[in-house]
Amino acid sequence: MLLVTGGAGFIGSNLVASLNEAGRTDIVVNDALGQDGKWRNLGKRQLADVVPPGQLLGWLDGRKLDAVLHLGAISDTTATDGDLVLDTNFRLSLQLLDWCTATRTPFIYASSAATYGDGAEGFDDDWSLAALRRLKPMNLYGFSKHLFDLAVVDRFAKGAALPPQWAGLKFFNVFGANEYHKGEMMSLVAKRFGEAKAGKRVRLFKSHRDGIADGEQKRDFICADDAVAVMRWLLDTPSVSGIFNVGTGQARSFRDLVSAMFRALGREPDIEYVDMPPTIRDQYQYFTQAKVENLRRAGYNAGFTSLEDAVHRYITSFLNQPDRYR
């Protein structure tokens, strides 16, 4: 039996779908479904159980699991309730780490590229304590994830007990089906698809940095299928532990992203550049690019889908269909 926390969320529901499609139905999802239709992310799935967040630790008592995939978190990068974010993203993660250590259960968890802050220290997933301590996250979400990375690696450095397999995944800009409940945290493709399909011009932020053209702010965009493939590989490779970037290793511009969206709809790109709000200019990232050599050295040799192919598949298979859910 597998436990997927955050299993009704974006990346979690794609993982559950992939496991179902591979024949696994012994999956327990831990998540809050709420009343906004988030359940639709699991509407095509077969599950062994759905456990509400407040009941998880009691449910785990006396259980034996094949692995815990911990993807549940408050992932809103604009969140401001420090107590709630740390309780959800840090303290619960510690409790799950302790449970997996005590029961000898493999533990794979979501970290985040937000731990890198403004990128001044680069995007190298060197997970030594010295390297991690140099990082300065720019928001509460990134801070909460960074705290947990430090806690895990501190235990490793001291030779303390850990699960037989542990892996933290620093997801970069993941996009794909089932992200629709995320509101402003959705990918730009999901947020601007309706405008592009309706024949409207799509707005992107102007650049406010010398040497970078409007629309040439860059991110490492990775499709959900590729992110899931890394997790599936780790499940099948229990000898691998550590912290790994999950990105393509190639930064692409927002102009590239939106242009790929227009072309998937059979239209020429129609983009307007508008001023970035002053409130976010000082904390805006102009470049992110995962270094994936650590993952390659660990033995992961699958390729990554190109931006154009990933956007085309997302639009033709999901966003432009009556049923957008995987």
β-strand partners of 246: 171
How many structural domains compose the chain? 1
pTM (predicted TM-score): 0.95
Q: Is residue 226 one of the residues assigned to a domain?
A: yes
Q: Is residue 259 one of the residues assigned to a domain?
A: no
Tens of pLDDT along 98-116? 999 999 999 999 999 999 9
Tens of pLDDT along 1-58? 999 999 999 999 999 999 999 999 999 999 999 888 899 999 999 999 999 999 999 9
Q: Is residue 115 one of the residues assigned to a domain?
A: yes
Q: Is residue 28 one of the residues assigned to a domain?
A: yes
For residue 239, give the CATH number of its domain.
3.40.50.720
Non-local (6+) Cβ contacts of 39 within 8 A are 8, 33
CA distances from 99 to 50, 67, 91, 147, 253 (A): 19, 11, 13, 18, 42
What's the CA gap between 311 and 222, in Å, rounded?
10
Burial of 303 (0-12, 13-18, 19+ CB in 10 A): exposed
* pLDDT score, position 280: 83
- Residue 210, Cβ neighbours under 10 Å: how many? 5
Q: Is residue 161 one of the residues assigned to a domain?
A: yes
* pLDDT score, position 116: 96
CA distances from 185 to 43, 120, 124, 175 (A): 22, 24, 24, 10
Q: Which structural domain, as residue segments, surrounds residue 33?
A: 2-176+220-250+288-305
Query: Buried b vs exposed e over 134-172: b needs ≥16 C-beta within 10 Å?
Result: ebebbbbbbbbbbbbbbebbeebeeeeebbebbbbbbbb
What's the CA gap between 320 and 179, in Å, rounded?
14
Would residue 182 show up in a list of annotated catalytic residues for this protein? yes
* pLDDT score, position 78: 84
β-strand partners of 82: none
For residues 150 and 90, is the Cβ–Cβ distance under 8 A? no
* pLDDT score, position 35: 80
Tens of pLDDT along 78-101? 899 999 999 999 999 999 999 999
- Candidate list 38, 109, 116, 141, residue with the active-site label: 141
- Candidate list 44, 182, 191, 291, residue with the active-site label: 182
Task: Quickly tell me which residue has 């799509």 as its tokens.
Answer: 202
Kindly give the parts of the chain with pLDDT less than 50.
none
Q: Is residue 270 one of the residues assigned to a domain?
A: no
Non-local (6+) Cβ contacts of 147 within 8 A are 86, 90
Burial of 289 (0-12, 13-18, 19+ CB in 10 A): buried
Q: Is residue 271 one of the residues assigned to a domain?
A: no
* pLDDT score, position 202: 97
* pLDDT score, position 283: 76
Q: Is residue 95 one of the residues assigned to a domain?
A: yes
Three-class secondary structure assignment of the chain: CEEEECCCCHHHHHHHHHHHHCCCCCEEEECCCCCCCHHHHHCCCCCCEEECHHHHHHHHCCCCCCEEEECCCCCCCCCCCHHHHHHHHHHHHHHHHHHHHHHCCCEEEECCHHHHCCCCCCCCCCCCHHHHHCCCCCCHHHHHHHHHHHHHHHHHHCCCCCCCCEEEEEECEEECCCCHHHHHHCCHHHHHHHHHHCCCCEEEECCCCCCCCCCCCEECEEEHHHHHHHHHHHHHCCCCCEEEEECCCCCEEHHHHHHHHHHHCCCCCCEEEECCCHHHHCCCCCECCCCCHHHHHCCCCCCCCCHHHHHHHHHHHHHCCCCCCC
